[in-house]
Chains A and B, each alone.
Chain A
Amino acid sequence: MNEPRTEQLLLVEDSDDHAELAEFYIADYSDRIRVDRLHDGAEAMSYLERVEASPEQSLPWLVLLDLKLPKYDGHEVLARIKNSKRLAGVPVVIFSTSNSGKDIRRALSSYANSYIVKPMEPDRYGEVISEILQYWELNQHHLVQDTGRSDA
């Protein structure tokens, strides 16, 4: 934190509205986070393949992944990341409207690092974003295993 540096956050989100909300609150939290927005599963897949293929390119600091996406859905993207040797270490936070147990179990068993449900209260969205960023800012993601938050 003493050395100002920019972290890359990969935002996979099909809804422009949700993307704008996330970007607003991320920017509000810190101007040192660069948000790269991907619109659907297919875009995410090709981006990840590019990163995986070029060792000199640095890995994203954090992936904020929506589940319901056109073309390939979030689960498929998550599996793609966690099955890749190079990408597996990238923390993936599932950020979805779904609070279905099935989705949560599936995501966690695919080694999602965290599962956060998009809040439906007026001021909670910003708070949740802050909490996520704050948590991962500690750069301890390599210690974090399955959180098992089934009520997430």
Chain B
Amino acid sequence: MISLLIRKIPLKKRIYSGYLVTGTVALVIALLSYGSLTTLAGDFHSVITFSRYAEEIVSFSAQMSEMQRQALIYIYSGHNAAGERVGKVYADMLEGIGQIEGEDQLDALDYLQETKKYLHTYYNSFQEVRTQRDMQQRLVRREFRKQATKAQLLIEERIATLQENDIDSTLQYYRMLNFLLQIEKNAYRYFDSLDGSFVRAATESIRETREVIDTLLKQPEGDFERLEEIAFVLTRYESSFLEAVQRTRGYLYLVNVVMSAQAYETIYQAKRLSSMISGRSEHLQEHMLDNITAISRFLFLSAISLLLFTGLFSFFISRSITVPLNRLTRTFRRLASGSSEAEIPEYVLRDELGELTIAAGSFKQRNIALEESRKELRHSNEELEQFVYTVSHDLKSPVVTSMGFIGIIRKLAGQGKYEQAVAKLDRVASANERMSQLIRDLLELSRVGRMDMEKKLLDLNELLSNFAESQSIRLQSAGLSLLIASDLPVIYANESRVLQVFENILSNALKYAHNEAGGRLEIDAAGDEDRWYIFCKDNGPGIPLEFHEKIFGLFYRLDANAEGTGVGLAVVKKIMKSHGGDIQVAPQTEGEGAVFRLTFPKHQPDNMNNVVNESGRSE
């Protein structure tokens, strides 16, 4: 099926299309691979991005811890730098989230918003803490100190007004002053250490101070007004202290509970996000692995099938080339060995193999022509041999005669029969005469075909009427009438040779066409598609069928004692062959004379110089 299809495509296109089809298949495979690998690269890029996000998110925890630490430092030390640091970390984290938000193509936005929200709340809480702390500081530094100083001044003024003798009261006031110092010391300790026990110690000192005041109020000579005033200041003092404590506890609550919770929440969200992303990343990696496996399997199968396909295709193509090529090689081998019967394989396309087939055809034609010319050569060799044989025989004959008669003459002379001997000399002479005639005829024969044959168009009507005129005396003396038809053709031939043909035929008729009613020779013509036939018919005894071939042989005479050497008809045969024609004895009816049929080709081959080497036979 495939090979049938292939065989219809010319060779060059066959090879090109083979490469083209293979290349196309390879290209398709490469494109498919490219597509898969591009997807894979995209996935890989996503995985890298995810891992960067995951890293970023993991750093949130650290940043969160840092923030919380800085917040605590701020709260305990009150360093503003720590507060600023918290703000900075917050800004960094927001920026990180913003980046993920900007790049994120996944549905992690919810988690991010959540994280951001908690982070925001955390920062807001921190701001609140700062406010609370500022207010507490203000309370401690201004109000609390003011009341402390006021109480101290009131007590010192009262001590100054007391008499030297009122030792007891003075002592009580000094105790009060001491308690006040205790309160202040414990309060500041608390604000420094935020240890609740100092608050208790401070409130204990306040209670003891009140007891002292109560004790003093029970004394009759006490300055009640001043004591009331001191009690009032003490109450203000206490409330400002308690408010400061309250505020301190408040922001501590904010820091330790609220902000911690926010921080944990933020970290929790970040962890969730991170695990989600890493889940995604893992999923993507699995997908990638699957893809890689699929691609590698696809590439492997593609490579195998491409190999198979290419192999199959090249097998068919090479077979479609080598099979006819081998066939042609076998043919050429046979042709080279000279065979003219080698079969030329059938090949219809006009491609390189087609040209080769045509070349084989020409080779075969040449072999056939060679065979033909070899045959011709063999034939003409045989004829030459025959010619030499005939010539040697016929030339010897007069020699034998003359030698034989010379022997007789000698013998007769020896016997004294001189007259008889002299009479035999004529026989010697005539034998020698015949010898020279033979030699002349042979020369004539060899001249036919060897000499240049200049050919032209000859009107046989004109040629033969001139011929009849030139032969009139000879015809009259022999009593032979020559009848020439008036519709003879124009032929392409050598004039003098054609004249020689008719002359020899006439001589032949003069020798054989004897009839009581007088000799007669009729010449007429007929033609078919590519030949002219000239018929020369006499009214002699005719020629028996078995001699139709022989009479054209050299020195062949039907009547051994008729005049002539037997060269005439051989010459005619040779002339006709050299014109591409022939002479034959036409079949005749009993009692009719001999009919010679001359054949001339109608078409005139350009090259008529290749004379057919005809050794000739005769008469």
Contact = CB atoms under 8 A, between A and B. Distances in A.
Contacts of B430: 17
B337 to A, nearest CB: 32
B558 A122 contact: no
B410 A71 contact: no
Contacts of B547: 71
Given A71-B547, A97-B396, A118-B396, A18 B401 contact: yes
Given A100-B389, A118-B396, A126 B427 contact: no
Interface residues of A, number: 29
A14, A69, A122, A124: most-surrounded residue (chain B CB, <10 A): A122
Interface in A11-27: 14-18, 20-21, 24
Given A97-B397, A97-B400, A15 B405 contact: no
Contact of B560 (A15, A98, A118, A123): A15
A67 to B, nearest CB: 8
Given A17-B401, A21-B401, A71-B558, A120 B406 contact: no
Interface in B530-557: 546-547, 556-557
Nearest to A100: B389
A148 interface: no
A122 B403 contact: yes
Contacts of A16: 560-561
Interface string A113-147: 00000111111111000000000000000000000
A28 B411 contact: yes
Nearest to B558: A70
Nearest to B396: A97
A123 B392 CA distance: 21
Contacts of A119: 400, 403
Contact of B400 (A28, A40, A71, A125): A125
Nearest to A24: B408
B408 A120 contact: no
A126 B406 contact: no
B407 A123 contact: yes
Provide the main secondary structure of the chain A interface.
loop
B403 A125 contact: yes
A120 B560 contact: no
Interface residues of B, number: 28
A100 B388 CA distance: 11
A131 to B, nearest CB: 14
B397 to A, nearest CB: 5
B518 interface: no
B400 A14 contact: no
A120 B397 CA distance: 9
A39 interface: yes
Interface string B391-404: 01110110111011
A40 B393 contact: no
Contacts of B401: 15, 17-18, 21
Contacts of B546: 71
A68 interface: yes
A21 B556 contact: no
Contacts of A97: 393, 396-397, 400
Contacts of A121: 403
B509 interface: no
A123 B396 contact: no
B103 interface: no
A15 B407 CA distance: 18
A45 to B, nearest CB: 11
A120 B400 contact: yes
Candidate in B389, B392, B397, B411 with the most chain A CB atoms within 10 angstroms: B397
B559 interface: yes
A17 B410 contact: no
B560 A39 contact: yes
B431 interface: yes
A37 to B, nearest CB: 12
A17 B431 contact: yes
A70 B410 contact: no
Contacts of A40: 560
Interface in B65-111: none
Interface string A55-84: 000000000000011110000000000000
A15 B401 CA distance: 9
A122 B560 contact: no
Nearest to B400: A118
A64 to B, nearest CB: 14
Contacts of A126: 407-408, 411
A123 B410 contact: yes
A148 B250 CA distance: 163
Nearest to B434: A17
Nearest to A14: B560
Nearest to B544: A71
A125 B427 CA distance: 15
A124 to B, nearest CB: 8
Nearest to A73: B550
Contact of A98 (B393, B405, B408): B393
A70 B543 CA distance: 13
Nearest to A123: B407
Interface in B336-355: none
A21 B389 contact: no
Contacts of A20: 427
A70 B556 CA distance: 7
A124 B400 CA distance: 10
B393 A21 contact: no
Contacts of A69: 560
Contacts of B399: 120
B561 to A, nearest CB: 6
B556 A122 contact: no
A18 B402 CA distance: 10
Contacts of A15: 397, 401, 560
B573 to A, nearest CB: 18
Given A17-B405, A40-B560, A102-B389, 18 more contacts: A17-B404, A18-B400, A18-B401, A21-B400, A24-B408, A69-B560, A70-B556, A70-B560, A97-B397, A97-B400, A98-B392, A98-B393, A120-B396, A120-B399, A122-B406, A122-B410, A124-B403, A125-B403
Interface of B: 389, 392-394, 396-397, 399-401, 403-408, 410-411, 427, 430-431, 546-547, 556-561
- The 5 A-B residue pairs with the shortest CB-CB distance, nearest first, are A14-B560, A21-B404, A97-B396, A17-B401, A125-B404
17 contacts: A14-B560, A16-B560, A17-B405, A21-B400, A21-B401, A21-B404, A39-B560, A97-B400, A119-B400, A120-B399, A120-B400, A121-B403, A122-B403, A125-B400, A125-B404, A125-B407, A126-B407
